[in-house]
Structure 1
Amino acid sequence: MTMDWDRRHCARKGHITYAPDENHLRRNLHASTAVGTVWRCLRCGDFVLGEPHGSGPADRAPLMPRGRALRDLFILRFLAVERVLRGLLVILAAWAVWKFSNSQDSVRRLFDDDLTVFRPVARHFGYDLDHSPVVDTIQKTFDYKRSTLRIAAGGLGLYALIEVVEGVGLWFGKRWAEYLAVVATAAFLPIEIYELTEKVSYFKIGTLALNILAVLYILIGKRLFGIRGGHAAFEAERRGESLLEVEVAAGETVPPLPVRPRSAADSV
């Protein structure tokens, strides 16, 4: 069973009706009923009771995403939420690194004091804290210069800003955000692949697969960088579908009748 994206979206956001100036289209887009005038929704095609939401020339009808376009918008908004959440997490990481750079010595003393307290307990359970890889990694960070930590915090902040801006743009279906998503995501793919060579995990594999699919989907589906006709073909497709929405809803486009093969009796 396939999902009816048009009716699903109208159920959540409401119908959109339009009264074109052209009389032959206008007549077919509305009807009179016992309860009042109804107009056909440009998205799902159902008749809606009440006055139209807009009016004007047919070629100025609102660009209503429907069918595949609505599905694409849903996927883009899923990616947008993922990007914004990732950006917020990176912002927290940048803030933590910045705070750490300002109180590096006090954090070192606190860590050493706690390590001294837990060392006998760990030794009792056969765990050597003095040779622990995790402890060694934490202690190495105490030796980083404050300027290095602040540069790292600034880099994380810039990355978070890119993710948040990208997410907001994708949510509203902006084309510049699609370019930003492809470029930014593709730029970090080599790093993600390198991390897999160091240590493999299901989370890393899933993240890499999601990012690769996102790049291919946006790149090909949205005709970026001249693919499949580029921006001109993409806009022509959107505008053409919008004009067809008015014509099809008005009954202008009628499928051709099937042609019956001629028999010998027809020739007589």
Structure 2
Amino acid sequence: MDWSRRACSRRGHVLYEPVEKEYQGQVRADTGIGTAWRCLRCGDFVLDVPTASGPVAEAPMPLRGKALRSRFIMRLLAVERIFRFLLVGLGAYAVWKFSNSEHSVQMLFEKNLTIFKPVAQHYGYDLDNSSVVTTIRKLFTYKHSSLDLAAAALALYAVIELIEAIGLWLAKRWGEYFAAVATSLFLPVEIYELTEHATKFKIATFALNVLAVVYLVWAKRLFGVRGGGRAYEAELTSESLLHEPTEPVGPAKPTGAVPNNGVSNNGVPGGGAPSRTVPDDGLSSDTLTNNAATLPLSVAEPTVRMPLGEPPEEIVQA
């Protein structure tokens, strides 16, 4: 899947016009049907007007390729955290509500239990010695303060899940660190629960959390892994289609054959065709080549092959 084109199809292209003339060759192409601008996300040339203009240093750096795929994974993890937040939050509210009305809930339970006893006895089921009834009655013996403490602990866990979800959804660096640390801290608790009573749901949850921590640390280069944050930022910058090169990119200059020590068959030093000078408007009879897309200059004129990376350095005779 081409994640860059997929994003552009949903959000539109990112077109930017640098004010420095020497950099416009990286993103601009004059054709016979208009001026085309290169999208900074998918890399395609589009016959449209740039949505912004300014210095190269202020050019937008949209996520491309693997970075877009990584953000998609981050948002899947964020959705899972939102689900946990809702589930644990409801549990915290239920425990708090029960602690504040424990006596009334106990009376309601015992009253309904008396109603269902004849039906249970008819089918040979002893409700008084049922494990479910015994567990519920045990809950009524808990102190009010203990229930409040349990509700507070569940509420704190729900807030942690919410913070993780927000940080991962927004693809923030602090969110990635927070999610990795918070998830790691709860892994020993999950391991203990698996040793006590393992279920398919607990095993799946534990495996998901381990994979999430490994992915965050490795892919996001957390805690200095694979070069750390600097290497991660450098990776994102290197994928930018408009950046300031080491040497400023100027307009293409016509050149002839590169001279060498050999002599060609026609007697011209350099081993190739004799060099010639091409006028500034000579693009109508020549082509610019650099292994890229082809854009027509006009209906009756030859074509221009626009560079995908750096501007062309030679003008070759058509």
TM-score (norm 1): 0.86
Q: Give 1:228's aligned amino acid.
A: R
2:25 aligned with 1:27: yes
Cα 1:27–1:253 change in 2 (3 A) is closer
Shift of 1:33: 5.0
Structure 1 residue aligned with 2:183, among 176, 179, 185?
Answer: 185
Q: Secondary structure at the match of 2:128?
A: helix
Shift of 1:179: 0.8
Cα 1:214–1:73 change in 2 (3 A) is same
Q: Secondary structure at the match of 1:130?
A: coil
Structure 1 residue aligned with 2:16, among 3, 13, 18?
Answer: 18
> Is residue 56–residue 243 contact of structure 2 (8 Å, CA) maintained in 1?
no
Query: How many angstroms apart in 2 are the aligned matches of 1:91 and 1:128?
Result: 35
Q: Deviations over 1:196-221 (max 9, x none)?
A: 22222211111111110000000111
Matched residue, 1:251: 308
Kindly, what percent of the aligned residue pairs are identical?
58
Count of equivalent residues: 252
Q: Secondary structure at the match of 1:55?
A: strand
Matched residue, 1:239: 237
Shift of 1:82: 0.9
Query: How many angstroms apart in 1 are the aligned matches of 2:48 and 2:244?
Result: 18
Cα 1:237–1:33 change in 2 (3 A) is same
Structure 2 residue aligned with 1:56, among 54, 66, 77?
Answer: 54
Query: How many angstroms apart in 1 are the aligned matches of 2:221 and 2:212?
Result: 14
Shift of 1:97: 0.9
Matched residue, 1:104: 102
Range with greater deviation from structure 2 (61-70 or 239-248): 239-248
Query: How many angstroms apart in 1 are the aligned matches of 2:222 and 2:210?
Result: 15
Q: Give 2:10's aligned amino acid.
A: R
Structure 2 residue aligned with 1:198, among 180, 187, 196?
Answer: 196
Structure 1 unaligned residues grouped into runs of 5+: 255-268
Matched residue, 1:143: 141
Structure 2 residue aligned with 1:169, among 150, 167, 170?
Answer: 167
Q: Give 1:193's aligned amino acid.
A: I
Cα 1:86–1:250 change in 2 (3 A) is farther
Cα 1:124–1:48 change in 2 (3 A) is farther
Cα 1:132–1:251 change in 2 (3 A) is same
Structure 2 unaligned residues grouped into runs of 5+: 246-291, 293-305, 312-318
Query: How many angstroms apart in 1 are the aligned matches of 2:131 and 2:158?
Result: 29
Q: Deviations over 1:16-35 (max 9, x none)?
A: 11112332431341234566
RCO comparison, higher one (Cα < 8 Å, 6+): 1
Shift of 1:251: 3.4
Q: Secondary structure at the match of 1:204?
A: helix
Q: Secondary structure at the match of 2:17?
A: strand
Shift of 1:250: 5.7
Q: Deviations over 1:154-207 (max 9, x none)?
A: 111111111111101110100111111011111111111221222222111111
Q: Deviations over 1:3-44 (max 9, x none)?
A: 111111111222111112332431341234566433111111
Query: How many angstroms apart in 1 are the aligned matches of 2:168 and 2:53?
Result: 29
Q: Cα RMSD over matched residues?
A: 2.2
Matched residue, 1:69: 67
Q: Give 2:11's aligned amino acid.
A: K
Query: How many angstroms apart in 1 are the aligned matches of 2:242 and 2:225?
Result: 24
> Is residue 19–residue 54 contact of structure 1 (8 Å, CA) maintained in 2?
yes
Structure 2 residue aligned with 1:40, among 22, 38, 41?
Answer: 38
Shift of 1:66: 1.0
**Higher helix proportion:** 1
Q: Which structure 2 residues correspond to residues 81-100 of structure 1 after superposition, within 5 A?
A: 81-100=79-98
TM-score (norm 2): 0.73
Query: How many angstroms apart in 2 are the aligned matches of 1:160 and 1:208?
Result: 17
> Is residue 58–residue 243 contact of structure 1 (8 Å, CA) maintained in 2?
no
